[in-house]
Structure 1
């Protein structure tokens, strides 16, 4: 990009467009990598690309997020200094997927034995779990992160991952009770209804999606490129890998189901009190 004869907003956008039309979604501006979401699966994120970018100089190969990840990892090993990658962009730009590719690349090239592999599994499996409880369909993005996150991976002197920390902030809690038409609440609600076994549904009192007031608000239940049923099994597997086992998983699902049931409770004013409208509940809450 810095080799353009004219550095203007129009020329930058035109250059990105030309590269995008030729399926080049990555472009360098110096040490900064620009990524354009192709909205389709691209063929250059396999083992071949990992080998190509591992240990290579930044400009030896075409721009790629693997080159950025490799440079960061090598600088950490050589300079013994902390490294940081800032991923920014508007909704739907591909920030979440970019973070996945960076973590996947580091996992592949960093080596290590069974203990290290266990740490890697936890780091990688944190993604589907965070997405289940923190991502949702919006009008612009079918898998939009509705929160900010900070991943910290700690490495041994030999460069193997030996720990990590994930901090999240600004979760869009209001999405549970309200959202725009055509959008969905957090994925976990739909995963539970679609993927729970008959026994789980009976235990939790789960029924169809349109029964729940919180889910019916926006009139959107299904997403074309999301399989809630299989994603639910992936979420449960991620819980197990991370260390949330069967008994705790049951408690988590009970809370999720409880939120849906609470949404179906309506209230009416009775004097100075709020009374539950349902004939089955006569409990009173004082204002």
Structure 2
């Protein structure tokens, strides 16, 4: 809700297509800085699916809103007062969705396979990448080689390297209703006694890459060698034991798997 014009459009849509006069709806409005009071009206931004946030200049808070409550971190619109409220994420509302022409994109084979997965998986397709939360619980070694749900594509545990990618992981974790979700970051030196450094983005086949983006929810213990995302976004990383079974988030890039022939040799086609 970025302007009075959009505000009026939303009211018109709510009056036209809904039944209950007291209906409330989700907007793309979320708290920006969790360390600041939720009562600061300008501490809310318009979030996109890929984690991009735009700070609006137009707010339509109801009098007394937003409230100072640590659990009230997202924005909603209620038709009865024609105004916005900050509320808990656990509330159950309908959505008001917005589709922008400038965000139109071609539908690829990967996207079709991504969105057609069964409802037991939670998926997001963003910037040519398919993210899938698999609710099956597995230890790290098993989860690391289990990202093979999409036929024809090599997957790996998700690499979280920025706040935008963390937002994607948190969205999937929350949608699945799980407390922990494994991602593809591990401490490869098993003899290390430094829990804060030496963390690598890993895949089953490619070279590991050092990462420094580590938004810890709690300080890691030296004996925990793998990472999961948990509650507390944007401080979401927690170090977990590699042997404990958790759900996991897979990432499929738009690179088809290479077919192999006898003795593991590659096949080439013209």
For Structure 1 versus Structure 2, the TM-score category normalised by the shorter chain is under 0.3
**TM-score, length-scaled by structure 1:** 0.26
Tell me which of the two structures has the higher relative contact order, counting C-alpha pairs closer than 8 angstroms and 6 or more residues apart: 2
Give the helix-richer structure, 1 or 2. 1
**TM-score, length-scaled by structure 2:** 0.27
